[in-house]
Structure 1
Amino acid sequence: MQTTTDTGQRAPLRLGQQLKRQKSISSMAREAEDNGGNGKMRRSLGLMQLTMISVGATMGTGILVVLGATVPVAGPAIWISFVLAGVTALFSAFSYAEMAGMVPVSGSSYSYTYATMGEGIAWVCGWCLVLEYAVSVAAVAVGAGEYVNEALHTLGLEIPTALAGGPSEGGVVNLPALIVVLLATLLLARGAKESAIVNTTVVIIKTCILVFFSIVAFTAFDAGNFEPLLPMGAAGVTGAASIVFFSYIGFDAASTAGEEAINPKRDLPKAILLSMIIVTVAYVLVAVSAIGARDWTWFEGTEAALVQIIGELTGQSWIVLLFAIAAVLAIASVVLTVLYGQTRILLTMSRDGLVPAIFSRVSRRTGTPVAGTFITGGIVAITAGFIPLGALAEATSIGTLFAFALVGVSVIYLRRKQPHAPRTYKAPLYPLTPILGIGACLFLMANLSWHTWLVFGIWMMVGVGLYLGYGRSRSRLGALSKAQYIESHTGDS
């Protein structure tokens, strides 16, 4: 409890008290409308654009390369692995959909945990999201050099080694990665609507490419390739499902657009669930057609299996070029949408005082956090172009899964504490779905390597230091008196 000093000033809260302080949903909604006087976000995104944001962040290069690593593990039943992974991700998606409808702001799981578990857990979740978004987008962008070279090879050209990879790959700078991030940054700074139009176009193109692959692959379909269906047993199917699960990460991206959605309470839940359906159907279709076209043993040690299959079936170099271009577009759309999500999460954390105020300044001309976008994009571009990510990129898996689990906990908390609060969407089969989502995330986290956990632990220690050294003393919620804190919760059910 806060006390009063001889000077009449309030003494700071004890650390334990501050960590437990929760931010009310009603105050979040009010703050989103005026952004603390730093400029208001423009509501310009409909259901289609929101859905494509999540699809764009999810359906990246993974499906183009993951079969070579997972078919040898699961055999012809790899399509079942994709279904299992999709259903597992769907449990978390149900929780995200419910929370997005209740808390339609830009902070995603950071805001959800702030409203339920307090500032301490919210900071941990936000710091996990910084790892998930910033580092993963840099890691995805690093693959740009390889695919740009694949496209150029069909034309008899090649990027010089010094410009095709960073120092860890024997080069000087990964120029394609740096350019992709900078272009995405410039586009995001222009406006959310313009970015959404470009992303929607790119997502449609890469979806058409996957459908085109499936059509071509089905022309060589051999049902005998699915016998025996489970050569590696059920353990192989579940093992592969754990690997391909990470191809579904990104469906939560739409939840960062809460303040730019035209009708967030209605459209955000729909966008999250629709994106999961689209991605799962696309993945299963590609997996079935690929196995139908080639015996499962063919995939052992095969890189870019889809490109090889379609090249062999058509014998056309322009098809290979088409797929290489599609891979570059897939990278570009992931970079664009994930970088978008990162800037919006930092905006929300900045509004709460936990990160510098510059991240929450919104341009009156573009309706976007221009300064924060350029700072974030610049750091990510330098990281992708020059810095070896190594185990830090792998640690994004833990951060993502931890954030997913916390959203499931948030759903259970609010169902108990605010059972009559208005909800535009309710997770089905409650409490089974959030519990299953939490359990699945914890199981996958437990199966990650020890060195990944070590790097994640170091990252968390850095985050704790930043909170104690910066965020705690500048927290707007922590600065409220007890009476002000209680008043801020007026309006919550």
Structure 2
Amino acid sequence: MTSSQGSGLTESAAPTLSRDLGLFEVVVYGVGLILGAGIYAILGEAAGVAGEALPISFVVAAVVASFTGLSYAELASRFPRGEGDYVYVRNAFGSKRLAEAVAFLRVFVGAVSAAAVALAFAGYLDGFVSVPAVPVAIGLIVLASAVNFWGIDTSVKLNLAFTAAEVAGLAIVIWFGRTTWGNVNVLHSPFGAPGVVEAAFLVFFAYLGFGSIVNIAEETENATETIPKAIVLAIGVTTVLYVFVAVSAIGVVNWEALGASSSPLTLVARAGGGDVAASVITAIALTSTANTVLILLVSTSRLVYGVSKSEYRSFPTVFSRVHAARQTPYLAVALVGGVTIPVTLLDDLGQVASLANGGLLVVFVVVNAALLKLRYEKPDERGGFTAPLTVGRLSVTALAGLVTSLGLFTVYVSSFL
């Protein structure tokens, strides 16, 4: 033992992250990331443009998300590292600057998203008791950061409980709508195919969490096999839930009413089970938002930890230090929490969060391009998972992921023009 142990850091034998996560835990973590809080709000806006064809929009979005998800799965199998996107891009293009730009974008997205969802938590809480939004959001970020510091095992146990609550809330909606499925004409869209595509663009953002699953690779047992499986399973599980929720919601409440509601699932629950059911869904939305904040802070801090390693020297190496007792990157946890808190003070957080989503699409373009390049230049250096649909050295799914991500980014930019 060295004298530095009192500070939580052992210099002679630097502590490492604790590998406590198996396939089940990582899948649940991924489902929690993807479900997030988006489905509780975005479903209404999407219904307003897709009409009864809303379930088809979810399927289209799932297919598009799967293209890039498969690229992440193969890259995570090649490089099972917590720095994720950074190491993929750096190995593919040999550019430290490009890799750093991607890492900065991911940290920005994580911080802004966590702040936005923390404010959403305050909004849901205000439905039960009048509270000031910003102090509540900051309090949640501080509490989630404390849990993040305490240990990945504790974070995952909370994530398991919160994700179970999220799934239960969606199951309630599905239950209320189960008798109406036969009345839903999923081929009818009031605005035709363009409406279905626009809705798919909106609900695509309800899938974005899959890219952060890779950031817990160094806390996962047999990460080379577990992380790719978890990405595929998490996208699959959430897609099934989303489609059934979409059919049920459209069956219980007219699509126009859903489109006009800022809390569509609460509206469905009230129509199906009265005020008590609506209150239950609102309470579950609280757990959903709290869970999303926690796992965003976890994944973002692991990215900072990874990129700060001395072998890269892209971020200050101090952030790669691991607490000897808790086995967590405590300084990276503090940095991410500290960066997230000021974002809650922004006036137009919705627009900033939208910019973060645009930045994430740029990351997806680069990540898909990284796999395409690695397939050509290092075809034999594959891990335990290879994305399907390969023609020679070409990954068809990675090419589709690049094209669709670029297309979505173009649509996104055009919305500001």
> Counterparts of 1:143-292 in structure 2 under 5 Å?
143-150=120-127, 152=128, 158-160=129-131, 163-164=132-133, 174-219=134-179, 221=180, 223-226=182-185, 229-292=188-251
Any conservation in 1 of the 2:165–2:288 contact (CA below 8 Å)?
no
Cα distance in 1, alignment partners of residues 234 and 62 from structure 2: 11
Q: 1:324 aligns with which of 282, 286, 289?
A: 282
> Counterparts of 1:293-332 in structure 2 under 5 Å?
293-315=252-274, 317-332=275-290
Distance 1:452 1:99, change over 3 A: farther
Q: Does 2:45 align with 1:45? A: no
Distance 1:212 1:43, change over 3 A: same
Q: 1:380 aligns with which of 333, 340, 351?
A: 340
* TM-score, with structure 2 as normaliser: 0.91
How far residue 343 of structure 1 moved from its aligned partner, in angstroms, is: 0.6
Q: Secondary structure at the match of 1:89?
A: helix
How far residue 67 of structure 1 moved from its aligned partner, in angstroms, is: 2.3
- AA aligned opposite 1:126: A
How far residue 110 of structure 1 moved from its aligned partner, in angstroms, is: 1.2
Cα distance in 2, alignment partners of residues 236 and 428 from structure 1: 30
> Counterparts of 1:350-429 in structure 2 under 5 Å?
350-351=308-309, 352-384=312-344, 388-429=348-389
Range with bigger deviation, 53-62 or 232-241: 53-62
How far residue 294 of structure 1 moved from its aligned partner, in angstroms, is: 2.2
> Counterparts of 1:15-94 in structure 2 under 5 Å?
38-94=14-70
- Pairwise CA RMSD: 2.0
User: Counterpart of 1:445?
Assistant: 409
1:350-370 CA deviation, whole Å, 9 max, x = no partner?
112122222111001011011
Q: Secondary structure at the match of 2:379?
A: coil
Q: Secondary structure at the match of 2:308?
A: helix
Distance 1:314 1:129, change over 3 A: same
1:434-485 CA deviation, whole Å, 9 max, x = no partner?
00000000001111146969xxxxxxxxxxxxxxxxxxxxxxxxxxxxxxxx
Cα distance in 1, alignment partners of residues 13 and 400 from structure 2: 41
- AA aligned opposite 1:277: G
- AA aligned opposite 1:404: F
How far residue 387 of structure 1 moved from its aligned partner, in angstroms, is: 6.0
- AA aligned opposite 1:445: F
Distance 1:312 1:104, change over 3 A: same
Cα distance in 1, alignment partners of residues 306 and 14 from structure 2: 12
Cα distance in 1, alignment partners of residues 38 and 234 from structure 2: 16
1:216-267 CA deviation, whole Å, 9 max, x = no partner?
1224x16444276133211111111011101111112220011111110110
Distance 1:227 1:45, change over 3 A: closer
How far residue 300 of structure 1 moved from its aligned partner, in angstroms, is: 3.4
Any conservation in 1 of the 2:55–2:243 contact (CA below 8 Å)?
yes
Distance 1:341 1:285, change over 3 A: same
Structure 1: segments with no counterpart, 5+ residues: 1-33, 153-157, 165-173, 454-493
Cα distance in 2, alignment partners of residues 371 and 308 from structure 1: 42
Any conservation in 1 of the 2:56–2:186 contact (CA below 8 Å)?
no
Q: 1:349 aligns with which of 304, 307, 310?
A: 307
- AA aligned opposite 1:47: L
How far residue 208 of structure 1 moved from its aligned partner, in angstroms, is: 1.5
Range with bigger deviation, 44-53 or 442-451: 442-451
How far residue 291 of structure 1 moved from its aligned partner, in angstroms, is: 1.0
Q: Does 2:108 align with 1:131? A: yes
Cα distance in 1, alignment partners of residues 107 and 307 from structure 2: 11
How far residue 375 of structure 1 moved from its aligned partner, in angstroms, is: 2.5
Q: 1:110 aligns with which of 66, 73, 86?
A: 86
Cα distance in 2, alignment partners of residues 414 and 104 from structure 1: 15
Range with bigger deviation, 184-193 or 131-140: 131-140
Distance 1:226 1:106, change over 3 A: same
Cα distance in 1, alignment partners of residues 102 and 46 from structure 2: 30
Cα distance in 2, alignment partners of residues 311 and 35 from structure 1: 58
1:69-122 CA deviation, whole Å, 9 max, x = no partner?
111211100100000000000000010000001100101111110111121210
Any conservation in 2 of the 1:55–1:279 contact (CA below 8 Å)?
yes
Q: Secondary structure at the match of 2:92?
A: coil
1:317-354 CA deviation, whole Å, 9 max, x = no partner?
33222111111111111111111111111112211212
User: Counterpart of 2:73?
Assistant: 97
* TM-score, with structure 1 as normaliser: 0.78
Query: What is the identity percentage for the equivalent residue pairs of Structure 1 and Structure 2?
Result: 29
Q: Secondary structure at the match of 1:395?
A: helix
* Alignment size in residue pairs: 401
User: Counterpart of 1:487?
Assistant: none
Any conservation in 1 of the 2:76–2:228 contact (CA below 8 Å)?
yes
- AA aligned opposite 2:284: A
Any conservation in 2 of the 1:218–1:293 contact (CA below 8 Å)?
no
Any conservation in 2 of the 1:73–1:237 contact (CA below 8 Å)?
yes
Cα distance in 1, alignment partners of residues 262 and 355 from structure 2: 23
Any conservation in 2 of the 1:225–1:295 contact (CA below 8 Å)?
no
Structure 1 or 2, whichever has the larger Rg, is 1
Distance 1:122 1:217, change over 3 A: same
